[in-house]
Structure formats: structure tokens, C-alpha cells
Structure 1
């Protein structure tokens, strides 16, 4: 038999070898995980963080560019509306017999004639709300003006050097933006030639102020401006930028500006900005002086397009600070995900080490039992003690697993909140068309009030109220992705829902020359909820308009047929577009699936539409037509039985 001393020496040698092995392993591992795993995890984190930051930036800037395009549309429309109010005024004044008589009489005009023309111009100016209305002879002298009785009267002022006067005599009409030499007030001038027997005998001019336009354009985190053909900012929501140039002014241009006294003798200085990058074909990034913090700059997304006035352009600058916050949020999500994954990995390694140590303890116990021929009582005591330790470890392991499950549930909940946050951004896509309709109806209402037609204006305002109610209903649809809403199904007229959708897109249908055919029998009723059914048709009609926008033949057909037993109504909307790609068709009603270019939608419209239709107890499907284009079908439960009492 082996002696106790020999067994003790062998045990000590085995422990020294095991200790040496553990020291070597510790040199290439951190907390039980190899160094190469940590390196791979670090590289993966860096890559995913960079990708998330880039994706968040692109999505935020695309959304900003889409908002900027809408702003440019609004500014262009308001500028065109403002100019249209006054553009014909000089021509109307030029047709007055008294104005022609005054110009023909010249210096020999009677005081009564001069007084009559001055009074007429004063009345026209007050009625139109312009700054001044003038009559100018062939030598460029103002011989009658609306402000004839004011201290800074224009009567006697010579404006022969002004381009609007020269253009009016040469081409029949003129247009010019400049600072008044008498008042120092900037404004826009319109002029028309006064003709007698086909010959120009003078000109009529009107000056309007742009202060109200600048005030209406002012918005937080945004700057809007109008730039003339010389590259000079003539209208701006930032006062410090007015009459500065966005591009270098040549010496010849400076001479022309000084000759016309366009800016009252001011030397045009360049605006100190820096272009730092392009964004697509219609936008770019730049740093502009911060008007609120002298010496600092702010990064903007710049977008521009031609203005209604020939040679001018409208530019809008959008602060990109929100995009930076989106990047920080994306980085936070990626970092949180990796921290959770890292904690789980450490837990798994620790658990594995615990199990390995238990196995080693069991092996040591068996060897000890083999080597030491202890009594049955000693072996039983040792086994009992080991079993107790194992029970305690099992209890601890169960507690650890319970904590892990709780952590996993928190991660799932955080993921839900992230998805809901992204869905909220989709409201921009879904609300854009109603907002345009509201703006159009409000402008028309204001015009009706100005024309003393309150009945028409009230009708427009009632339509605006209905659109606002529908927009409020739309925002509630965000909850549909989190829980199934409670919908009260009643009998709803399909004809009224379609008429409501056509009203929202009426301007777009007319401007894009789209042929909309409605083939729905009067009195067609379906089981649904009125406002949500209207939203479904608005979404589908908007997608159809997008599909036919670039087509030569723009046709959209809405039709409804009832089943033989009058229990179901099949409603369909089809278009003459290019159809839906097969790989997209099978996922069409899933969130964030879209066929539109980047920056033109988030892919939430059809997902919301599908949830609404399912809440009606109806079915929605999509397919490509054999003759081209796409068709969306909704099978409703007919509501005729409810109305008839069956």
C-alpha cells in the first residue's frame, strides 16, 4: 500500500501544476473570456455604433429635407400671392383717363387736374395697402403721388435711374427691389407704361413693403430668405443678413448697383458662411453666422428653388441640431444593447466556471474516498455536507436565472418603446397632405372675407375643422401598434368617405392632371367607423397619387361591388402606375416597408391602414394588375341589413 506521506506529496505536486496552468490561462483571459473575443466585441460595437449614428443622421436629415421642401412650397405660394395682389395695380392706374391727361399736359396741367390725380392715387394706395403709388413723366420725374400731402412726398423726385422705370418704358412693365432713396425703407416696385395712341407718355409705379411677409415667415430654428439675380439677400427673416451677398459681387455688378441706387448707396458685403457638404440634388449643408450669438456659427440644411419673381430664388435654412440629438439617441441605444449583451456574457461565463468548479469538487471527493478508506459514517457526513452545499448553489442559481428573466423582459419593453418612438416620426408623412389642404382653405377663407363673402369663408373654415378632427384621429393610430383599439362599428356611407378623401387631395389631383373615376352606387353602406374609414381611403388614395405621379397616363379608379347575398361589399382602388415589386408585395403591410425613395416616407401608412381595416372586421389585400399598376381590395361587411332593420 502507498504511504500517507507519498499520497500527501503527490497531492501537493498536483495542486502546484494546477496553479501554474491557471496562471497561464489568466494571462490570455479577462474574467474567463479570451482576449480575441473582447477584441471582436469592441470592433463589432464600433461598427454598429458608427452604422447607427450614420443611419440616424441620414433619416433625420431626410425628414428635415422633406419638411424644408414643404416650407419652400408654402413660402413660394405666399410670395406669389403677395406679389399677385399688386402686380396689376400699375396697369390699372395707367388706364385712367385723368392720368393720361396729366402726362399729356405736362408742366401746363391745371392745379385741379393735378389735385384730382393725387387724390385718386391716395385712395388707390389706401385701398390696396401699398406703400406708395406714383405717376412718372418721360424724364423720370414724379408728377403725382399718393403721398403728395406728406412731409416725405415723392412729388418732384427723379427716378430715371431706376431699372423699373427704364423697363416700363422699354418693355411695357418693370419690376425691381430696392431701398427708397427718400425714405430709406426697402420695398418692391412694380411699374407699367402709360400709353396714348400706342405711344408711351410716362409710367405708373407702385411700391409695396415686405415687412409683413418677413414676419409671417419667421419660425424657430429656421431662416427664410429671397435672393435676387445678383445673389444679394433682399428679404430675410434674419435682419442681420439682409443686403449681404451669398456669392462674390463683381466690380461691374457693384457699379450697376450703385448706379441704380438699389441699396441706397450701400456697398454690398458678402455673408460669411461656409458650404461644408452636399445632400442629394436639392440641398446642402453649411455653417452660417448665428444671429443670437455673435462670433458663433450654426450648421443648417440649406434648400432653395426659383421664386415667382424672374431671376430670384427662395432659400430656407433648417437647423440640424435635432439630427445631432437623433445620433446621440442612436448611440445610446447601441451602447445599452451592448452593455446588456456583455452582462449576459459575463453571467454565462461565471455560470460555466461555477459548474466546472462543482465538477472538480466532485472529482476530488471521489478521489478522496478512493484514497482514504474512511468509515461509512465519515463518508456519509462528507456526502451530506456536499449535498447541502449543492442545494444552496441550486437555490442561488434559480435566483440568478429569475433576475436574468426580469432583465430580458426589461430589454423587450425598451425595444417596444424604441419602435413606438420611430413610429411617431411617421406622422410627418401622414399629415403633410391635410396640412397643405388646410393652408389652401385658410388662404381662400381670408380672400372671401376680404371680398365680403362670409358664407364661402365659413364653409372653408368648416372644412378646416373637419380636417383638423381627422388629423387628431390619425395621431391616435400610433397606439394601434401597441394594442388593439376598441372600435364601434356602425353603418358608414362609402360615398361620403371617398368624397372626403377627394376633397383633401383636390388641389393635387387638379395640379397633376389625374383622372379619378368613382364607380360606387349611391347608398352603399359598410360596417366601419366613419373617421377611421376616411383615413383608410385617404392613405390609399395618397399612395395611388404617388404611384401615377411620373406616368404619362394618370388614372385612378375607385369602385365598389356588393356580393350576391348583399352581405359583403368589395371596395377596390387601382392605379395606372408601375405596380409593386414582388419582393415587397408579400411584406407590404408590415411596418417600415415602403417602395418610395429615401426621405419620402417611413413605410407606416399601409401598416396603420391594415390595423384599422382589421378592427372593422374587414380584410385588405394588394395585387398587381395585368394591364399595369396596382390594385388594393378591402372586403367589408355590408351595413344595409342594419339600416333596413334586417
Structure 2
């Protein structure tokens, strides 16, 4: 008697199990291959990036020794030998120090034919290279023999690793010495660090000289021969350090440029992890760049493939069991045909009843659809009327806002004109001309105000120049002078003399006028009316922080988040467009600056709102570069 489990023969279960394991193995292998191929493509891009950055970094300094070698004072110093004057030696030392500081290298040396450093960029430091003999260094030998040399090693004096470039100094076609530059590679290691990856540069001896994993530096990836050991000791390339082998295991090849290996995991001390290793020749002859990529993602893809195949087989198995059960159910239904026939008659009656009910429901639904369309049309008409009314309200607010913005300069112009007339009557034309010049500036400011809406709609091109912050604040004070005096507002201004910003003069004045006007509005109904304007000294980033704070009630949190958006205002209806701060923000951004708003802490000067603008300072260095 054949054995069956849930109606399926035992051989059927065995065949399904064999099929499952075969498909699962193929899917896992396919997922692994695709994931590693994708990882290898990422590794190729990484190698392109690292090789290009290494070539770029080396190219910055490769021509430095040749440039130093062409310096007349350097050739004169080497030509004079021990008889060189102290003045000439000091001239060369200071020249090398300046070159080293400008280039950002570690050291610049001048070496005579015997290999002694006779001038160095660190001549005035406690650990000076002057007097050091480097005749054993390959870069010095190659420079005398071939005109130039390059070598990676650890400094015997400092213990700091670096890359050496050297060039022969010639006189009448014959070498009389050499110039050498030492460059740090720490910046490359920092730039190459990426989570889950390791990048390194391996020299011709198979020793890791640059690595994003500090513990791997100066370890060997392959055995070092006796001849290599002798050459290393002779050149003191690693400053006498023992070169230990990096403990890793090569577990398989992938393609011509990649292989799989187990390496110590620097993220988990004491553990090893499988990586995809890829390498490529470096710009320096004999060196190579290697990158290690964690294959954890590929293993995850394998797990997903296995889960997918398992799920598919489970679904297929459940469907098979369902089909068997369905066959049993059909057989039972065939045995109950008489009962089903009677039930069918009853069902027809029920269907007829339900059909009639459905028809009636459908007719009611059609009526509801017609009514809904009518309602939607009425809603659209109402929305259009609301939009039209909103546009009319915005136009009214815009007109009221422009009237408010123009009122202050008009009052100032009237006052200045009356004063000018009085000065002319007193035969004081100088004061009258000064008042008229102020009137001209106010008229220019009014022209700027009337173009605010155009400025808001289109961000203009701004030509930034050096502008005095003190003059811009004085202009704003002049506009609001009568209001400040009449409303008994105390205005504290703390700005250092000579503070210059990169901005456009009239637009900077408009920004400060807008902010000062808002501050005056904020303190109008307060018992204590104080406005503070402060500008600090330029910081190390050549930025100036400008703040204007008031003792008003502050800004509501729900408004603060949208304060610089168009038509957002805290003023009563008819007292502002809600465009002032939006325009101010755009002007400030055109300067390359940034504006923020906040409420002062309760422990500050009377609380209230505070606006902070971070301007670019117009320092002498920026002005010299025209920036």
C-alpha cells in the first residue's frame, strides 16, 4: 500500500523537496553573482575616484622642487658651498620657508652633492633639518642621476610619513645639488574614509603606506624578500620600523581585477570579515591603490533570494493543498445535487427580489448624481466670487501699505524743505544744500519703495560693493528721526566705526529702514520703548552679525515659522501688505547673506523680537580680490 500524506504520495513530497533545494541553490547563487558584480562596479568607481584624487594631490607638489631649483639664490648657495655668506644662506632659508607656507607642504630642503641639507624651510625651528644627511635616500640619488626623484618614507627626524619629490639643481648643465619637498598624505586618508570600506596605497615592496585604517599602515600584504629588506634598511624608508605582515586570507578569485578575502574587521576588534578586494596601478610607478568593500550587502541579497524562493514554494504548496481540498468539495457537491436544485429555485426568487431592489437603488443614485453636479457647479461659482473678493482685498492692502511706507519719507522731505528755506532766508546756503541732498536721497529711497512689488516678483541682479553699515543705519535714523523723538523711543546703536559690508547701498538702506520701521511699530504701545542695533566685529569666516531687537511683545510661534513668506503680517488689517519681510529676505539673499528671526529670552532686554542678518564683511583681503 502506497503511503500518502494529505492525499499526496510520498514520492511527490520527495520530488517537491528536491526541486525546492535546487531552485533555492540556483537563486542564492544568482543573487550572490549579481550583488558582487554590482559591488565590483562600485569598487571600480571608487578606484577611479581615489586614483584621480591621488594624482591630483601629487600633481600639486610635483613641480615644486623644479621651481625651487631654478631660483638664482639657491644655485648661488650651492655654487658657493661652505664659503656662502650668512646673508645668502638666510635669504634661501626665508625663501624656502615662504614657499613651504604658501604650498602647504611639510618641508622644503636644499641639499648639496654630499647629501647634506644646507638650507631648509624649518631652519628656525628646534627640529631643523639643516645638517641632516640624506644621501642614502632614493629620491636624492634619482634626482642627481635622472634629474628628478620621488619616494615615500618616514622622516628619520620627525617620524612623520610623507611623500618626497626632488629635482636636481644644475649649473652649466651639471648637477650641483638638489631641491626636495616633503608632502603629507593625511588629507587623502581623511577624504577617502567611507563607512564599510577600506582604501589604501601599497608601495612597490607590498607595504601599505596610505590607509584609511590606521592600524594597517606599514604592514605588508605579501612576503618581503631579503633583497627588499636590505634596500629598505639602506634607505631607512620606514625609519627602522619592523614591517609585519597583515593577517588576511584569500578565499577566492572573482575576476581579473577583484578577489574575495577575509580581513581583520577594524569596526569589530578581534573579528574577521569577508571583503571584495580590488586594486589598480597608482600614478607613482610601482605603487597600487586597493579598496576593500564589505560583502554584507551581497549576503543580504542571498537571504532575500532564499526567502523569496521559500515563500513561492510555500504559496505553491498551499495552492496544491487547496486544489486537493477543492476536488473533495466538488465530489461532495455532486452527491448533493438534489438539495442544490431546490436551493437554486429559492435562489432565483431571491435574485429577482434583489434585482428589483437594485434597480430602484440605481434610479435613486442617478438622481443624487444630478443633484451633486448642480451643487458642485454652485460651489465653483461661489469659489470664483471668493477669489475675486480676495484679489480686491489684496489690492486694497497693497495700496494702504504703499501709502504707509511713503508717508515717513514724505514727512522727512517736508521738514527738510522747510529747513532749507529757512537756511536760504538766513543766507546759509551750505546747510540748505546739505538738506536738499538729503531730500534727493529720500526721493531715491521712495523710488526704491515704489519698486518693491516688482522687486518681490523678480529677483534683480545685485552688484555688490563695499558699503558702510554706519551710513546705512544713519540713513534709517534720519527717516524715522521725528517718529523716534515723538514716540519717546530709546535707540541704542552699537556698531564699530569703519564696519564695511558687501552689499548694494540703496537696498541695504531699504533693509534697515524696513526692520527699524517694524521695530518702531512693535514698541509703539509698550511702556518701555527700547530698540537696540548691534553689529559685531568680522569673525574668522569674515562674516558680520547684525542684529536689531525691540522691547515689544514678540512674535507669535505660529507666525514665526512663516514670517518671511508673502502676505504674512502681525499688523492689523490695512496697516501692512505682509510683503516687507518677504522683500527684505530676498534682498538679503541677493547680498549672499542670511536673515533669521527669533524671540528674545525672558532674561534679555525687555524680551521682544530680534532679527539677525549674517553679512559678508568687506575686509581688505576681500576687497583686494574683488569679492
Output the TM-score relative to the length of structure 2: 0.54
Residues 32, 231 of structure 1: alpha-carbon distance in 2 compared, 3 angstrom cutoff: same
Paired residue for 1:323? 298
Instruction: Tell me the residue number matched to 1:340.
Output: 315
Aligned with 1:263 (options 216, 238, 242): 238
The 8 Å contact of residues 225 and 314 in structure 1, kept in 2 or not, is answered as yes
Matched, 1:129 2:99: no
List, as ranges, runs of 4+ consecutive aligned residues in structure 1 with deviation greater than 3 Å.
356-362, 383-392
Q: Deviations over 1:537-595 (max 9, x none)?
A: xxxxxxxxxxxxxxxxxxxxxxxxxxxxxxxxxxxxxxxxxxxxxxxxxxxxxxxxxxx
Which residue among 113, 116, 126 is the counterpart of 1:151?
A: 126
1:254 to 229, 238, 241: 229
SS in 2 for 1:136: strand
Note the C-alpha offset of 1:359: 4.9
Q: Matches of 1:386 and 1:45 in 2, distance apart? A: 45
5 Å matches for 1:131-280?
131-280=106-255
Report deviation, 1:101. 0.8
TM superposition shift of 1:389: 13
Q: CA separation in 2, counterparts of 1:281 and 1:205?
A: 38
Provide the C-alpha distance between the structure 2 equivalents of 1:319 and 1:294, rounded to a whole number of angstroms: 16
RMSD: 2.1
Which residue in the other structure is 1:111 paired with? Answer: 86
State the distance in 2 between where 1:316 and 1:349 align. 56
State the shift of 1:385 in Å: 10
Q: For residues 189-222 of structure 1, what are the alpha-carbon distances to aligned partners after superposition, in whole Å with 9 as ceiling and x for unaligned? A: 0001111111111110000000001100000111
Which whole-Å CA distance do the structure 2 matches of 1:391 and 1:63 have between them?
A: 65
In 2, Cα distance between equivalents of 1:139 and 1:384: 117
Alpha-carbon offset, residue 258 of structure 1: 1.3
Q: 1:45 to 1:389 in 2, by over 3 A?
A: farther
Q: How many residues align?
A: 348
Q: Check conservation: 1:254, 1:268, Cα contact below 8 A.
A: no
Helix, strand or coil at the partner of 1:266? coil
Q: State the match for 2:398 in structure 1.
A: none
Distance in 1, Cα, partners of 2:291 & 2:346:
71
Q: Which runs of 5+ in 2 are unaligned?
A: 348-627
TM-score by length of 1: 0.52
Which residue of 1 is the match for residue 273 of structure 2?
298
Q: How do residues 242-641 of structure 1 correspond to structure 2 at under 5 angstroms? A: 242-359=217-334
Q: Which protein has the larger Cα radius of gyration, Structure 1 or Structure 2? A: 2
Deviation at 1:387, TM superposition (A): 6.4
Quick one: distance in 2 between partners of 1:184 and 1:200? 29
**Structure 1 portions without partners, runs of 5+:** 1-23, 363-382, 393-646
User: What does residue 51 of structure 1 align with?
Assistant: 26
Per-residue CA deviations over 1:322-348 (Å, capped at 9, x if unaligned) read 001111111111111111111110011
Q: What is the rounded CA distance, in whole Å, between the counterparts of 1:387 and 1:242 in structure 2?
A: 89
1:254–1:267 contact (8 Å) kept in structure 2 = no
Residue 388 and residue 92 in structure 1: after superposition, are their counterparts in 2 closer, same or farther (change >3 A)?
same
Deviation at 1:310, TM superposition (A): 0.7
Moved more, 310-319 or 288-297: 288-297
Q: How far did 1:350 drift?
A: 1.1
Structure-2 residue corresponding to 1:120: 95
- Whether the aligned pair in 2 keeps the contact of 1:163 and 1:260 (CA below 8 Å) is yes
Q: What is the rounded CA distance, in whole Å, between the counterparts of 1:351 and 1:86 in structure 2?
A: 81
